[in-house]
Chains A and B, each alone.
Chain A
């Protein structure tokens, strides 16, 4: 028994050490810097206590970025899961064998595209003068829609690309999960004259609750890392309507100001918010599952 516990330590030790170096060192550095007034291009650095954190709460761009991040998280996570479930059911109901395999392969392609590539392709498709999406719109209405320059449509337009990549990929995963479910509950529901949507709403989806929750968590984490997509497509614009927290932090740290400490304070707040939010949601879900 003793030997077993030592083996655990041997196997766990190195990865934990690597994780500690990779994750803890920059995190601690960010926390320390956030209490300083370090700026690229200014000499001399001193500790300023909570000044950066206090400034953040009177910064309208910071509160806007918080709001945009929450909107982005809600739109992309809900959108992805809804698209995934609907497409998976559609494929499960209407396709079989080789056709299903070919369609599944095609649906995985978007997520295999590098984010930057996908962003550039869609940005060009949305182009009001040359974009393929605007071509029929111009023919019908006489003028294009500035999807990425309009304050009403910009965030949704970028979210479409994210949902296109991940929703279709998750649909394939759900399709494969549906294939693994036992047939008996479906047959029983059909004998009871349940309609198709009722079979999925009350039988299939509850049976897939655990993987659906896992996929939702995966997407929540992934949506927090959409900097590249938004940066390429809108750079946070028009104005600041698609400026998420990570984008604003990057902008303050490297693009506009070089205010490394201010950006670090934002990063630390983002980290704390994410940890607290995910912990609460995770505990809530576990409680709900055990109920």
Chain B
């Protein structure tokens, strides 16, 4: 891998300071940002003075957890729209862009912050209908995380296919000794249980829509759901209504042998202050035919709170500063692995020194199996959340008929299309 030292930071800072006066004129009012808690954004709050110096104004971030952030940002952007910057994700970018609650970012993103340095897959996820709308805060695909010690003790090699995965899970599942074979997200939500289920659905060849006609009520969906429910038999207590937090905490506390999860978990897993399994985990691509769940979250310019070009430039300046190479190097230093998005940072000596070659290799390899699994449409959150509720019902056993569940979702999808 090409490794380059970060030598341009000083130059960038110099360029930034030269433009301070110009931006100070652009920014006239403090910025309001609606976001979800991320280590990188907390880090920004410690550097408010730096932004004040380059812009002449301050900023305030209102944090809401992921589900609440999604709900509130839709309600807020569609009514008052008072936030200058919104934290957007792959699931709602279409909704925000179609309704013009956010504006294209590229022309307001300062050149000196080098937009092209972002990982191309992150830029793709942050784009809709030919325009880039957000600069990435986090993103990536999936890894298969495995406990090297448990697999070695059982004489099992890291599984490369779903069938091998099932065998390994069954062999390692030992709840009497507090070790569960696998962990899955059961809690509702297009970004929760549905997010993980989709990797099976798409891996089995499922499609969401054919034009405006729902196509998901298929053998692939039935097989994906059956497989998901089968694997849930090996998932720890609390995960049937849990999501990222419950699943990753179970893994990092040493109670799970194997897990397929989003790549940012690697940073938490290797942090000995928050993980009991640091140094004991191997990383590889998800077993075939699972696709990786390609995702991205980032910062976008609100349309209503920034009515003119000057205010949009100011919001763009904030986004450029908040996602800059300098900020990412700070995140790397602090171990905020999940919020790294720049190619120059991944290729840096500092990154290699901090994280094992195994992670770096897995990052490269997983890009090949990473896919956009969701339906890229403004109605996706609605459809995905509806399936999330139904899937949770199937997982907890309050309903059991999978074809009937898919029929209900299809009826809902047809209603969604009819309401357009």
Contacts and interface: CB of A to CB of B under 8 A. Distances in A.
Interface of A: 37, 39-43, 61, 127-129, 142-144, 146, 148-151, 234-235, 237-241, 254-258
B392 A258 contact: no
Contacts of B72: 254
B238 A149 contact: yes
Given A129-B250, A151-B396, A239 B237 contact: no
B230 to A, nearest CB: 18
Would you list the 9 A-B pairs with minimal beta carbon distance, nearest first? Answer: A128-B237, A239-B393, A238-B396, A239-B398, A256-B385, A40-B78, A149-B241, A255-B71, A128-B238
Interface of B: 67, 70-72, 74-75, 78-79, 95, 98-99, 175-176, 186-188, 236-238, 240-242, 250, 253, 255, 378, 381-382, 385-386, 389, 392-393, 395-399, 419-420
B75 A258 contact: yes
Contacts of A40: 74-75, 78-79
A237 B70 CA distance: 19
A99 B32 CA distance: 53
Nearest to A145: B237
Most chain B beta carbons < 10 A, residue from A43, A61, A151, A238? A238
Contact of A129 (B74, B238, B378, B385): B238
Contacts of A37: 419
A16 B92 CA distance: 43
Contacts of A146: 237-238, 240
5 contacts: A149-B238, A149-B242, A235-B67, A237-B187, A238-B398
A239 B70 CA distance: 20
Nearest to B94: A41
| A contact patch SS | loop
Given A41-B95, A149-B396, A237-B396, 12 more contacts: A41-B78, A129-B236, A129-B253, A142-B176, A144-B237, A149-B242, A235-B187, A237-B241, A238-B392, A238-B393, A238-B398, A256-B385
Contacts of B74: 40-41, 254, 258
B177 to A, nearest CB: 11
A209 B75 CA distance: 46
Contact of A239 (B71, B78, B385, B389): B389
Contacts of A128: 236-238
A254 B70 CA distance: 9
Nearest to B390: A239
Contacts of B186: 149
Most chain B beta carbons < 10 A, residue from A37, A41, A149, A254? A41
A239 B392 contact: yes
A107 to B, nearest CB: 31
A43 B75 CA distance: 14
Contacts of B253: 129
B419 A238 contact: no
A238 B75 contact: no
A11 B186 CA distance: 56
Contacts of B389: 61, 239-240, 256
Contacts of B397: 151
A42 B419 contact: yes
Contact of B382 (A61, A150, A257): A257
A9 to B, nearest CB: 38
A256 B237 contact: no
Given A129-B250, A149-B396, A41 B99 contact: yes
A255 B176 CA distance: 39
A218 to B, nearest CB: 30
A256 B393 contact: no
Contacts of A255: 67, 70-71, 385
B308 to A, nearest CB: 23
Contacts of A239: 389, 392-393, 396, 398-399
Nearest to A238: B396
Contacts of A42: 419-420
Given A128-B238, A142-B176, A235 B188 contact: yes
B45 to A, nearest CB: 23
A57 to B, nearest CB: 15
Contacts of A238: 240-241, 392-393, 395-396, 398
Nearest to A150: B396
A21 B406 CA distance: 46
Nearest to A134: B237
A258 B383 CA distance: 12
B255 A148 contact: no
